[in-house]
Structure 1
Amino acid sequence: MLVCLWATMLGAADKPNIVFILCDDLGYGDVSCNNPQGKIRTPHVDRLASEGMRFTDAHTTSAVCSPTRYSLLTGRYSWRSRLQAGVLGGLSPSLIEPGRLTVAGLLREQGYETGVIGKWHLGLDWVPVPGRPPPPANSIETAAHHGSVDYLLPITRGPLQVGFDDYFGIAASLDMVPYTFILRDRVIAAPTRTKQFPMMLGKTNAFTRNGPAAPEFSADQVLPELTRHAVAWIGQRAEAAKAGRPFFLYLAFASPHTPIVPTKPWQGRSGINPYADFVLQTDDAVGQVMAALDRHGLTTNTLVIFTSDNGCSPQADLKVLAEAGHNPSGPWRGYKADIYEGGHRVPFIVRWPGLVAAGSTAGDLVSLVDFMATCAELLGVTLPPNAGEDSISFLPVLRGQKGRRENLIVHSVNGKFGMRQQAWKLCLTPGSGGWSEPRDNAAYKQGLPEVQLYNLEQDPGETQNLHLKHPEIVERMLRLLEQQVQDGRSTPGPRQSNAVPVDIWKRPAAPKATPSAAKKKSAG
């Protein structure tokens, strides 16, 4: 019945507006519909879930920021790009390759007006200052690079060159320079001052990177400003949308990532700590966007997706949260940066009234990389062979049918690989691959096994490594992972190329022998 209703209504309706809300470092257990035992209440996200579908097995492709955003917009695993580990900075060059189709470009080709508001963190081609060292391509810039770009000249490659009609936001994470807003391809105010902000409100032992900032820029005003722009952007396009020109808004909040700076009205609201307060304020921002859709009569024909770019960061003060009875990862092991579930299993809620069953829950395996193929199928478009190579539509799941994704490759901050296949989780690292204990270097020194295999149905906490008990499963999944890396794609289609050679192990280099050790070895 649901399938028939979908087909009937979709045929009669215009193309849906699409609002994709991406939070920054929000854990799976930070939304109360996922974690009723948690101590942070998120009524607006909970309302989305009650009016739509809540996914319990949704993942990013990476446990950190830039790679997730690349996969979301391109439908391609980020390790197929030049970025093999870590994240970009605010001065890094553009990561999305020239000529590559993005979901924004796809939707614009189908008549959508496209906009991005918020954190970009996919690199921008700033105009270089002659004679200065260029910012690194695949890592965060240092103070030596802060004067390497001309902030007053237009950005030559950014969101406007990869399919977006409009852009308002910040270059990267809110703890990275430059501290200034960007409108389309120019900074709104020149970063003529030097600033830094506390990593968490009230703490004086850790600060963001010290660097160029606009005189009036204040970190605590970023979330309110992004929310105001999003609400206004929707309102400005409401009549055109109702007249037949749909819009796609990619709203990438910079919260609750560091600096953790809830505004004064939200300070102390949670009764736990500033991180919990910041989550509450972010939830309220989601509510303001939903209210704008309601106010302009757009709710019924707007597909809303709410999710996060990775798990909660340890910067949230996990000890204080735990003492309050709150686990931001819910039942899962690990946090942001890790190969473990808490690094990449995220909240994922989809609402489309009348077409997605209200109050439904889906346990199907899905990923943010699947957004592109989902949009394509929704609009009846076939992706070209060199686009969306790892994207698998979850439209059937929204229709109440079985999902199509059978496996998924995930990646940690250190570039370590993992793979899901049914209940099995394979990790190609002896440690967390990230910031949780045991970290990789320590795990190697401890002689921990280089392969981890978990059955998530029986062991959701990833505590029992079964690699010795099931070597055949390890072998099968390893061969599949290697094949998908080599093929340049994980979906049917002609073989494609990765931008650079991909090392799925990234083993530490063997220590160099000292001259005395080398002499003993040759003598022995």
Structure 2
Amino acid sequence: MVLIFADDLGYGDLSCYGATKIQTPNIDTLAAEGRRFTDAHSASAVCTPSRYGLLTGEYPFRANGGEGIWGPCGHFQSLLIPTEKLTLGQLFKNKGYATAAIGKWHLGFGTGKTDWNKPLRPGPLELGFDYYFGVPKVNSGYPYVYVENDSIVGYDPSDPITFEKPFSETTTYPEAAGKKTANGAGGAKKAHAIYDDEKTGMLLTEKAVEWIEENKEKPFFLYFPTTNIHHPFTPAPQFKASSQAGLYGDFIHEFDWMVGELVKCLEKNGLAENSLIIVTSDNGGMFNRGGQDAFKAGHRINGDLLGFKFGVWEGGQRVPFVAKWPGMIEPGSVSDQLISGIDMLATFAAVTGQEIEKDQLADSINVLPALTGDPEGAVRESLVLVPRQASHVSIRKGKWMYIPKQGAGGFNGKPGSHGAGGPACVSHVGSENSDIENGKIKKGAPPAQLYDLEADVSQTKNLYHQYPEVVKEMKALLAESRSSSSSGKKAKNKQ
């Protein structure tokens, strides 16, 4: 079982989803030999809560005893997932699988304030993963080091990491690569010297291939959350200028290569015919420097969908989802079933033949029939959609999507800014929406939003006033879904 979890990969970023300025032959091959989903969604439109939802099967608004997880976690964040909670790692470990998480973690370490000079536990190893290697936070945020299992790679006790000046040197790149926060960590000079943005994608791939080789004689689960294609856009030199969409597209080309390397490793070791491979993303594409440069080059990061990362419009949380499983998934098939990242827990439980208690399954639904068959009805009837702002938590049921406020509940910066998004950027890219004119919400626009995604997946027309009875039903369903109990309310991590 290999779950490849891209960072900020938009619905329009793969050639099998319509991209023309970017080519993704390895992922396209997986789609041709497996199934491509057109109505798959991330657990959140934001990185950290999306990872929480994927690994736990629980809506991130239920985390922290009901306080929720809404944004990226900080430099000293304690582990956000209670160690007693069932995760994908523990699910597979319970069935005798070897388990590894290789890539971006971004879910915190330890209890209380993270002490980077002590073993980073609890962490991935306490959540069912036998092995961890990767970027502890995010490639745009310090500390710029790699972590293996529970230790900083290259750590020297005589040169501990500090968060005081003078700060240690780390790799820097031209402005065109996008935002990378200036290092706010000092000391640990050897560990900082090892870290290199342009080598990270290849390093993570090498570690994943090595781990597969070491565990090929037994069943295994590899969770591979990449740093591609989150800013800064730092592809290895051989991928630069390989696309027609700037560094943004080049970084996607590197990601596609990474997928190809894992597939080749499985094939080389005679494992490909007995492996389920899934490629998806933690949220939609972000309209940052790279996304804006790609747009200028003629690429639409989220295709024809409305909006961007952080917001609840479809562009923020409808994501690519490709699955290949020889003999189980029909080659070249396409599914319009509604599924979510939170559904992986229940689905993998079904794949491995495990009965899981309802409170541990949380909000996860078994969508295995959508992967391997062609169900007549919907495998998931409704789905809660979670953006950056709690005010804009929304609901999907069948063809209908209801948003309880105006706007998308994400970034609202104007084009040219790092935090670009919202109405101004909708108009900038030429998207149409009946509530928006010249980059602003119209005066007199409805107080909330209702869309028929079956007829209008681009969300051009708000039907709030046309279907008051549907609005009433969806509003009630959203309230019920947000108030329903879940195991996440039983435990609250210290912050």
1 CA distance for matches of 2:194 and 2:229?
21
Paired residue for 2:56?
Answer: 74
1:433 counterpart (383, 386, 409):
409
Paired residue for 1:123?
Answer: 108
Q: Structure 2 stretches of 5 or more lacking a match?
A: 156-160, 186-190, 412-420, 425-434
Contact 2:423 2:441 in 1 (8 A): no
Given residue 477 of structure 2, which amino acid in structure 1 is its aligned partner? L
**Is 1:483 matched up with 2:480?**
yes
Larger Rg: 1
**Is 1:35 matched up with 2:13?**
no
Paired residue for 1:105?
Answer: 90
Provide the secondary structure at the position in 1 that maps to 2:272.
coil
Given residue 234 of structure 1, which amino acid in structure 2 is its aligned partner? I
Question: 1:153-168 counterparts in 2 under 5 A?
Answer: 153-168=118-133
Comparing 365-374 with 93-102, greater Cα deviation is found at: 93-102
Q: Assess, with a 3 A threshold, how the Cα gap between structure 1 residues 421 and 39 changes in structure 2: closer, same or farther.
A: same
Deviation at 1:401, TM superposition (A): 2.7
Q: Assess, with a 3 A threshold, how the Cα gap between structure 1 residues 98 and 422 changes in structure 2: closer, same or farther.
A: same
Identity, % of aligned pairs?
A: 37
Paired residue for 1:278?
Answer: 251
Deviation at 1:328, TM superposition (A): 1.2
1 CA distance for matches of 2:179 and 2:293?
17
- Give a deviation string over 1:436-489, Cα, whole Å, max 9, x none: 22389x978966433111111222221211111111111111111111222225
1 CA distance for matches of 2:290 and 2:116?
35
Paired residue for 1:260?
Answer: 233
Contact 2:140 2:179 in 1 (8 A): no
Q: Assess, with a 3 A threshold, how the Cα gap between structure 1 residues 31 and 171 changes in structure 2: closer, same or farther.
A: same
Given residue 471 of structure 1, which amino acid in structure 2 is its aligned partner? P
Q: Assess, with a 3 A threshold, how the Cα gap between structure 1 residues 470 and 373 changes in structure 2: closer, same or farther.
A: same
2 CA distance for matches of 1:20 and 1:386?
24
1:466 counterpart (455, 463, 466):
463
Question: 1:268-307 counterparts in 2 under 5 A?
Answer: 268-307=241-280
1:58 counterpart (40, 54, 58):
40
- TM-score when scaled to structure 2? 0.86
Q: Assess, with a 3 A threshold, how the Cα gap between structure 1 residues 56 and 316 changes in structure 2: closer, same or farther.
A: farther
- Give a deviation string over 1:11-59, Cα, whole Å, max 9, x none: xxxxxxx0000000111111100115x3111000001101111101000
**How many equivalent residue pairs?**
450
Q: Assess, with a 3 A threshold, how the Cα gap between structure 1 residues 399 and 263 changes in structure 2: closer, same or farther.
A: closer
Deviation at 1:195, TM superposition (A): 3.9
Deviation at 1:386, TM superposition (A): 1.8
Given residue 24 of structure 1, which amino acid in structure 2 is its aligned partner? D
CA-based RMSD = 2.3
Deviation at 1:230, TM superposition (A): 0.5
Deviation at 1:251, TM superposition (A): 0.4
Contact 1:310 1:344 in 2 (8 A): yes
Given residue 174 of structure 1, which amino acid in structure 2 is its aligned partner? N
2 CA distance for matches of 1:488 and 1:446?
38
2 CA distance for matches of 1:47 and 1:201?
34
Given residue 34 of structure 1, which amino acid in structure 2 is its aligned partner? Y
Contact 1:96 1:122 in 2 (8 A): yes
2 CA distance for matches of 1:290 and 1:496?
35
Paired residue for 1:410?
Answer: 385
Provide the secondary structure at the position in 2 that maps to 1:373.
helix
Provide the secondary structure at the position in 1 that maps to 2:48.
helix
**Is 1:25 matched up with 2:1?**
no
2 CA distance for matches of 1:195 and 1:425?
47
Paired residue for 1:152?
Answer: 117
Given residue 420 of structure 1, which amino acid in structure 2 is its aligned partner? R
Contact 1:261 1:274 in 2 (8 A): yes
Deviation at 1:79, TM superposition (A): 0.6
Provide the secondary structure at the position in 2 that maps to 1:305.
strand
1 CA distance for matches of 2:177 and 2:10?
25
Paired residue for 1:420?
Answer: 396
**Is 1:194 matched up with 2:168?**
yes
2:194 counterpart (206, 216, 239):
216
Given residue 311 of structure 1, which amino acid in structure 2 is its aligned partner? G
Paired residue for 2:309?
Answer: 336
2 CA distance for matches of 1:405 and 1:104?
24
2 CA distance for matches of 1:204 and 1:377?
42
**Is 1:225 matched up with 2:198?**
no
Paired residue for 1:178?
Answer: 143
- Give a deviation string over 1:219-253, Cα, whole Å, max 9, x none: 11111110100011111111x22xxxx10000010
Paired residue for 2:449?
Answer: 452
**Is 1:47 matched up with 2:29?**
yes
Q: Assess, with a 3 A threshold, how the Cα gap between structure 1 residues 479 and 360 changes in structure 2: closer, same or farther.
A: same
Contact 1:90 1:171 in 2 (8 A): no
- Give a deviation string over 1:306-329, Cα, whole Å, max 9, x none: 001011111253443233321111
Contact 2:45 2:387 in 1 (8 A): yes
Provide the secondary structure at the position in 1 that maps to 2:273.
coil
- TM-score when scaled to structure 1? 0.81
- Give a deviation string over 1:257-284, Cα, whole Å, max 9, x none: 0111011111111133111111001100
Contact 2:178 2:233 in 1 (8 A): no
1 CA distance for matches of 2:35 and 2:179?
39
Q: Assess, with a 3 A threshold, how the Cα gap between structure 1 residues 104 and 84 changes in structure 2: closer, same or farther.
A: closer
Q: Assess, with a 3 A threshold, how the Cα gap between structure 1 residues 413 and 496 changes in structure 2: closer, same or farther.
A: closer
Contact 1:220 1:261 in 2 (8 A): yes
Deviation at 1:384, TM superposition (A): 1.1
